[in-house]
Amino acid sequence: MERWPWPSGGAWLLVAARALLQLLRSDLRLGRPLLAALALLAALDWLCQRLLPPPAALVVLAAAGWIALSRLARPPRLPVATRAVLITGCDTGFGKETAKKLDAMGFMVLATVLDLNSPGAQELRACCSPRLKLLEMDLTKPEDIKRVLEFTKAHTTGTGLWGLVNNAGLNSVVADVELSPVATFRNCMEVNFFGALELTKGLLPLLRHSRGRIVTVGSPAGDMPYPCLAAYGTSKAAVALLMDTFGCELIPWGIKVSVIQPGCFKTESVTNVNLWEKRKQLLLANLPGELLQAYGEDYIEHLHGQFLHSLRMAVPDLSPVVDAIIDALLAAQPRRRYYPGRGLVLMYFIHYYLPEGLRRRFLQNFFISHCLPRALRSGQPGPAPAQDTPQDPNPSLVAAR
C-alpha cells in the first residue's frame, strides 16, 4: 500500500506547539528527559508509518506526544504564602539544605537539631532569616518530642502547620544480621520509626486543620535487602509502610503523604570516615568470642572497607532530594513516592523483575561484596571471595542518612 512520505507532520506540529507553550510558561525544562521523549516519539513515528494507515498513525503519534508532554510538565505548584513547615534532622545533610531552601522561598521553618550549638545549627542561624526557628529534639526522648509539639502548636496559630518533613534518621552499624547487636535494631527503630510515628501523630490535629502534607525520607534499603544494612533497612521499611497507611487513612482529611527514597548522596553523616571507624571498633570490641572466631576479624574489616569504598561514589549535589521534598510539599498532586538519585530506576527494575539470584548478586556487586567467613575457608589464612559473589564492586547507592 502506498504511504504518504510524512503522514504525521500534523502530529509533530501539535507536539511542537505544545512543547513551545510549556517552555514559555516554564512548565517544561530542556534536558535529557525531553530529548529522550522526542527520540521515542521519532521511533514510534517510524513504526506507525510502516504498520498503520496514515490517519491512524497521525492519531497515535499525536496522542503519544500529548501524553509524553503531560508527564514531563511540572505539576502546578501551590503558593508559599505564609506556610509553616517542621523539618527534623537539620544538623546536616538533607534536613539542613531543605531548611535553607524553604526559608529562602518564604516558608516559616521550624528546624529541629540534636544540638543547638552544632555546626549545622550555627550555619542555619547565620544564613537564614529570622523566620526560621531552631528547636532541639532527640526523637528517642518523649519529653523532647512533647516540647516540640507544644512549641509548634503555640507558634503556628496564625499560619497553621502546612507540612511535616520526617528527615531525621539513624544507622549505627554496617554488618551481617548475626553480627549486629539487637540493640542497634532497637536504636534504628526508635529514631526511624517510633520517633517519626510519635511526632506525626502529635502533629496530625494541626495537619488535618490545614489539609497539609507529610513528607518522609526513606531509603531503597527499606525496599531491597542491601547487604549489611538490615537494622537500618528494616526500620526504613517499617516507616514507609506506616506512611502508606497514613496516606490511605488521611485521604478524607485532605492530607497528602509522600515518601522520598534517595540514592547515595554525600551528606556529612554518611561520609564521616572517622565515625564509621569508631563504630567498627565498637562492634569488634563487643562481639562474642564465638562469633568473632567463626567470622574472623578480617571478615569484618573486609565489609568495612567495601562500605567505605561505596561511600566514594556518593553524589555531592543534594539538590535532587531537596527538590523532591519541595515538590511533595507544594505540588497540587504530589507523588506517593519520589526516587531522586543515580541508578535507582535500574536498581528497582532488577529488584522487581529479575530472578532472585541475579538480584542478590547485583546488590552485592554494587554495594558490598562478601567474602567467606573464617570458619568456611578450608584453612585459608585470609578472606576468600564467595564463589557466587562478584568482586571489585562499583557501588552507587544507599548508606545511612
226-252 pLDDT tens trace: 899 999 999 999 999 999 999 999 999
Query: What's the pLDDT band for 148 if we cut at 50, 70, 90?
Result: very high
Q: Please, which pLDDT band fits residue 381 given cuts at 50, 70 and 90?
A: low
Instruction: Summarize the confidence of residues 84-95 as an average pLDDT.
Output: 96
Query: Cell 506507525, residue?
Result: 48
Q: Which helix (H) or strand (E) holds 256?
A: strand 256-260
CB 156 within 8 A of CB 84: yes
Which of 1-15, 16-30, 196-210, 247-261 bottoms out in mean pLDDT, i.e. has the lowest?
A: 1-15
CATH superfamily membership of 84-271+314-344: NAD(P)-binding Rossmann-like Domain (3.40.50.720)
Model confidence pLDDT, tens digit, residues 150-164: 999 999 988 899 999
In the chain, DSSP finds a helix count (H) and a strand count (E) of 15, 7
CA distance 389 to 369: 6
pLDDT of the residue at 7 = 53
| Angle between helix 142-155 and helix 196-210 axes, rounded to 10 deg | 10
Question: Catalytic residue numbers?
Answer: 232
Q: Helix, strand, or coil here: 215? A: strand
Whether 207 shows a pLDDT value over 70: the answer reads yes
pLDDT of 66 > 90? The answer is no
Do residues 350 and 359 make contact, with C-beta atoms less than 8 angstroms apart? Answer: yes
- Per residue in 43-54, pLDDT tens? 888 888 788 888
C-alpha–C-alpha distance, residues 210 and 192, integer Å? 25
Secondary structure letter of residue 331 according to DSSP: B
Whole-model pTM: value is: 0.79
pLDDT tens for 278-335 read 999 999 999 999 999 999 999 999 999 999 888 888 889 999 999 999 999 999 889 9
10 compared with 279, residue with greater pLDDT: 279
Could you tell me where in the chain the CATH 3.40.50.720 domains are found?
Answer: 84-271+314-344
pLDDT tens digits for range 113-146: 999 999 999 999 999 999 999 999 999 999 999 9
CA distance 363 to 149: 40
8 band by pLDDT with thresholds 50, 70 and 90: low
Sheet hosting strand 108-113, strand order edge to edge:
133-136, 108-113, 84-87, 161-166, 213-217, 256-260, 337-338
Identify the pLDDT of residue 6. Answer: 52
How far apart (Å, rounded) are the C-alpha atoms in residues 398 and 401?
8
Q: Where does the pLDDT of residue 397 fall: very low under 50, low under 70, confident under 90, or very high at 90 and above?
A: very low
